[in-house]
A and B are shown apart, each in its own frame.
Chain A
């Protein structure tokens, strides 16, 4: 089994034709499905939120079999994720892509469970604390993308589960959770 860091790569990653966009519909669908799953799994395990199509991304080339994805192929696979709501283009030129291995809604639920499990109801936490504090260490929240976190918190605010306080600078925004 080939590895990328501590990530176990699926066997199709070593099969050269999966790096060429397949012209036949059914084969293409299978190919896209495999890549979608792989991108989400990889980003989740490595806590990657943003894929830039202009830069090298380890998942998009396999030196062992000397194959790499064309720009078109990358865009097709990411667009398939975008269609499913598991990714968003960050610019009109489709150069950067935000990967949502948890949807915003799922992130909101995750935060809510985290708050409940740790008895943090009615407590105040800063956004930075959530991203890099001791409490969230070892959870999926550690190192979460700021934009994603803010959107999840705003969703909680809309539901009346949290209140966001503006600080004097962007760094000290705080949030108070309610049960």
Chain B
């Protein structure tokens, strides 16, 4: 059909354009609506999930870990911020922030006994005393997560591995390889002597004494001259003191 020139032709063309636009808008609207609906469904589902499982998240360590795995799979970090749907709905943020505050408390309270280095297991025991919960309700994983959140404070909270143990460091002391070696050696009996250190690492007496004196100055070691063999022992409260002793002191 030959297109006729004239007003009517132009009006026709404009009407067609309008039609197309309308349809386009409609499609876009439908899409947004669907998206909105999906989001709403997701939110209600999440709310329902939260309502159902909030207690589980707070109380059940296994569930907590599985929840974290699920979050990691979908690429969400529920601890990234305390605002936003996840944290608000689930209150999972609160759980770790509360834990973080308690960890700081304990680290500071026990600092004068252990020099700012505490065994993760001791820390967990003290946390459970504080929370009046049993040890099973709080996993090492929970503590590690809470501690990793403390890093943003820049106060030097860090977890270091020494031998089989994990130690939580709350003072800005950098421990080098020598120090770590000695801490690892001390795990056997709770103390080391200069001789033991020399023998184990084939160090000169000077080097051994030097490293031990540094640990002493940092408050990580305590000397003991009372043994009947007369040899000075260097004790390390962070690897020997069981939690009930530090616990009693933390309270006072």
Query: Which A positions have Cβ atoms within 8 angstroms of B?
Result: 10-12, 14-20, 22-24, 26-27, 29-30, 34, 37, 66-68
Is there contact, CB below 8 Å, between A34 and B224?
no
Number of B residues near A (Cβ < 8 Å) is 25
**How far does the alpha carbon of A43 sit from the alpha carbon of B191 in the complex, in Å?**
32
Residue of A nearest to B225 (CB): A20
Query: Which 9 residue pairs of A and B lie closest in terms of their CB atoms, listed nearest first?
Result: A11-B245, A17-B222, A30-B112, A67-B226, A17-B224, A16-B224, A17-B235, A20-B225, A19-B226
Contact B249 A24 (CB under 8 A): no
* B-side interface mostly: mixed
| B residues near A37, Cβ cutoff 8 Å | 252
Q: Is the CB of B112 within 8 A of A16?
A: no
Q: Nearest CB to that of B113 among chain A residues?
A: A30
- Chain A residues in 8 Å Cβ range of B191: 16
B181 at the A/B interface (Cβ < 8 Å)?
Answer: no
Residues of B within 8 A of A11 (CB): 241-242, 244-245, 248
Q: Which residues of A contact B217 (CB under 8 A)?
A: 24
Contacting residues of chain B (60-89) with chain A, CB-CB under 8 angstroms: none
Contact partner of A16 (CB less than 8 A), chosen from B216, B233, B245, is B233
**B228 contacts the other chain (Cβ, under 8 Å)?**
yes
Q: Given the known inter-chain contacts A16-B235, A34-B249, A37-B252, please indicate yes or no for A23 contacting B223, CB distance below 8 A.
A: yes
B123 → chain A closest CB, angstroms: 17
**B227 an interface residue at 8 Å Cβ cutoff?**
yes
| B245-A66 in contact (CB<8A) | no
Contact B226 A27 (CB under 8 A): no
> With A15-B241, A27-B112 given, is the CB distance from A22 to B226 under 8 Å?
no
Question: Who on chain A is nearest to B242 by CB?
Answer: A11
13 pairs, CB–CB < 8 Å, chain A vs chain B: A11-B241, A16-B233, A17-B222, A17-B224, A17-B233, A17-B235, A19-B224, A20-B222, A24-B216, A24-B219, A27-B112, A27-B115, A29-B112
Residues of A within 8 A of B235 (CB): 15-17
Distance between Cα atoms of A66 and B217 in the complex (Å): 26
B contact residues around A12 at 8 Å (CB): 245, 249
A16-B191, A17-B235, A24-B219 are known contacts; what are 20 more A-B pairs with Cβ within 8 Å? A10-B245, A10-B248, A15-B235, A15-B237, A15-B240, A15-B245, A16-B226, A16-B227, A16-B235, A17-B223, A19-B224, A20-B223, A20-B225, A26-B112, A27-B115, A29-B112, A66-B227, A66-B228, A67-B226, A67-B227
Contacts of A27 in B (CB 8 A): 112, 115, 219, 222
- Inter-chain CA distance A12–B222, complex, in Å, is 12
CA distance A24 to B113 in the complex (A): 12
A12 to B249, CA, bound (A): 9
Tell me, in angstroms, the Cα distance from A20 to B241 when the chains sit together.
Answer: 17
Question: Could you say which residues of chain A place their CB within 8 Å of the CB of B227?
Answer: 16, 66-67
Q: State A30–B246 Cα separation when bound (angstroms).
A: 12
Query: Are A22 and B241 in contact (CB-based, < 8 A)?
Result: no
Query: In whole Å, how far is B239's beta carbon from the nearest beta carbon of chain A?
Result: 12
B226 contacts which chain A residues (CB < 8 A)?
16, 19-20, 66-68
Give complex CA distance A160, B22 in Å: 102
Neighbouring A residues of B245 by C-beta, 8 Å: 10-12, 14-15
Report how far A16 CA is from B113 CA in the complex, Å.
Answer: 14
Distance in Å: Cβ of A173 to nearest Cβ of chain B: 40
* Residue on A nearest B247 in the bound complex, by CB: A11
- Least CB distance from A10 to B in Å reads 6
Chain B residues near A19 (CB-CB < 8 A): 224, 226
Most chain-A CB neighbours within 10 Å: which of B224, B242, B252? B224
User: Known contacts A10-B248, A11-B245; is A20 also within 8 Å of B224 by CB?
Assistant: yes
- CB neighbours of B242 from chain A (8 A): 11
| Chain B residues, CB < 8 A from A22 | 222-223
